[in-house]
Structure 1
Amino acid sequence: MKIVLLLLLTLPTLAQIPYGNNAKVGKYYAVNRVKLYVEEYGAGKPLLLIHGNGGSLNDFSKTIPYFAKSRRVIAVDSRAHGKSVDPGDSLSFEMMADDFAALLTTMKVDSADVIGWSDGGINALLLALRHPRKVRRLVATGANITPDSTALVPSLWKQQQKAYTQNRDKVLTTAKEKNDWKVFVLDVLQPNIPFTALQAVRCPSLIVAGDRDVIVAQHTVAIFQHIPHAQLWILPDSGHATLIDHADEFNRKVDQFFKAR
């Protein structure tokens, strides 16, 4: 009994694994003139996780352990985010999508399933559009394809516009200030993807949002409607953080989607 208890006490728990800061598995990959920080967990069919604006791969702390039981989970900090190093002065979703394609190639991954949250969902859609052979199936939760009040709830859109107007002429002196600003402006001015462009997405797609998401419900439905053979899932009693606030349900549903033929 003592031996069993000792083993249980020494096994790493979810809280003990420093996702996003795990020196045991963390590694940098040089792609497209940036250095992307990546952590890998598990083994099996590859699964790429793409976080949202201002976040890091740590946002998937409730996703990684579930899928790592049976999958090769590739969790990455997007350029200009987390531990990834991006010296450039510009940022776009197209750049980021190209980064993920190059990363998979560098890691010798022909194609992967993809989960993208928020900005990561935008990246997942663009990855499927720009590099279709790299995406087997995709899940995009809380994604938008325009940066206006038809896509974002009015309160968030007005807040963004106010902050942009008040700070766009501010002189930025430190590297952190410049990086934070380009990350913020990304969501103010982008993405700009025509709905008709989504018709070129050929991989099976699951479009997800919460019923109280910061993305306007009609916008999410329109994304779903423009992707051939897509599926739509609106989580009841959920805000933007579907994969966190409803982690167990989200993981099971997404797992079923990936396993479907």
Structure 2
Amino acid sequence: MKKLILALFIIFFSSLLVQSQEKKVPYGNNPATGKYYELRGIKIYTEVYGTGEPLLVIHGNGGSIADFSLQIPYFEKNYKVILADNRAQGKTRDNGDSLTYEMMADDYDALLTAMGIDSANVIGWSDGGINSLLLAIRHPKKVKKMAFTGANLVPDSTAVYKDVAELVQPMYENAMKNKDKLSSKTSWKLMKLLVEQPNIPLTDLQTIQCPTLVIAGDHDVIRVEHTVQIFTNIPKANLWILPNSGHATPIAYKDEFNAVVDRFFKTTYREINSKARFY
């Protein structure tokens, strides 16, 4: 059963695909830059690359720092790229019984504070996108701009395609039935997180103050109409739907993804309404 859960995470977040790419630096396991911060009852594993304006990069469910092996070399040229393994994932251990996106968003707030960083640009992928949203909602001063891909507000069929839900549900039920038999709480907690959360009201999106780039693949696991709903409820948002792409937009469109997100961070957000819509 643990193998099934692991397979699910591989399908969803393409961690092995990222790690199979050519890379000389051992991202996610780099003793030259790896460091632990003791915060909020856990030890959060981090790596930092480059110098410049702070850029926080957040991975998805079951992933790790290594998932951004195709982004780090690009962004470290002009940014101080800050990455961490999320609570209960990668090298960040968490033996607690519960796990929520709100906990992880608060972890990132505490991490930035511990690093002496007042605000940062943020990139999030999948669950990392959810964490980005919640960081901007719960700790608005910490987020200067954010760009995220493949995020959802709710875990039901209004957000996730039916065939994806049908793939996940049996594994979730098995995990719930056999949770006491698992040698680790981690797989169970991550599966529970995937199916039962998040639950972010649209009214919370409307409080987000920072310019936001909302991204998704046109064949993502998240419904396109749900992504559009997120876009329309964030006051200063741009929308980018990538054609012929599933959930792994940072891989399938790595060059375009890096360049467009970088340009978004460097460009002043402009309001487009009335006559400006014609240009």
Change (3 A) 1:228 1:171: closer
Is the Cα contact below 8 Å between 1:27 and 1:39 reproduced in 2? yes
What do you get for the CA RMSD once the two structures are aligned? Answer: 1.3
Is the Cα contact below 8 Å between 2:145 and 2:212 reproduced in 1? yes
Q: 1:181 aligns with which of 172, 188, 205?
A: 188
Q: 2:38 aligns with which of 30, 37, 40?
A: 30
Q: Which amino acid aligns with 2:147?
A: V
Give the paired residue count.
248
Alignment-derived partner of residue 70 in structure 1: 78
Q: 1:130 aligns with which of 114, 138, 141?
A: 138
- Are residues 1:39 and 2:39 paired? no
Alignment-derived partner of residue 125 in structure 2: 117
Structure 2 unmatched ranges of 5 or more: 1-20, 269-279
Q: Distance in 2 between matches of 1:127 and 1:175?
A: 32
Q: Distance in 1 between matches of 2:180 and 2:74?
A: 41
Alignment-derived partner of residue 91 in structure 2: 83
Q: Distance in 1 between matches of 2:139 and 2:128?
A: 15
- Are residues 1:195 and 2:202 paired? yes
How far off is 1:167 after superposition?
Answer: 3.0
Is the Cα contact below 8 Å between 1:36 and 1:84 reproduced in 2? yes
How far off is 1:172 after superposition?
Answer: 2.8
Alignment-derived partner of residue 250 in structure 1: 257
Q: For residues 11-69 of structure 1, what are the alpha-carbon distances to aligned partners after superposition, in whole Å with 9 as ceiling and x for unaligned?
A: xx961111001111100011111111100000000000000001001010000000001
Alignment-derived partner of residue 10 in structure 1: none
Is the Cα contact below 8 Å between 2:56 and 2:122 reproduced in 1? yes
Structure 1 unmatched ranges of 5 or more: 1-12
Is the Cα contact below 8 Å between 1:14 and 1:65 reproduced in 2? no
SS class of match (2:55) = strand
TM-score (norm 1): 0.92
TM-score (norm 2): 0.87
Change (3 A) 1:46 1:14: farther
Q: Distance in 2 between matches of 1:174 and 1:166?
A: 11
Structure 1 stretches of 4+ moved >2 Å:
171-176
- Are residues 1:15 and 2:23 paired? yes
SS class of match (1:16) = coil
Q: 1:213 aligns with which of 220, 231, 256?
A: 220
How far off is 1:165 after superposition?
Answer: 2.0
State the identity %.
56
How far off is 1:140 after superposition?
Answer: 1.2
Alignment-derived partner of residue 108 in structure 1: 116
Is the Cα contact below 8 Å between 2:122 and 2:145 reproduced in 1? yes
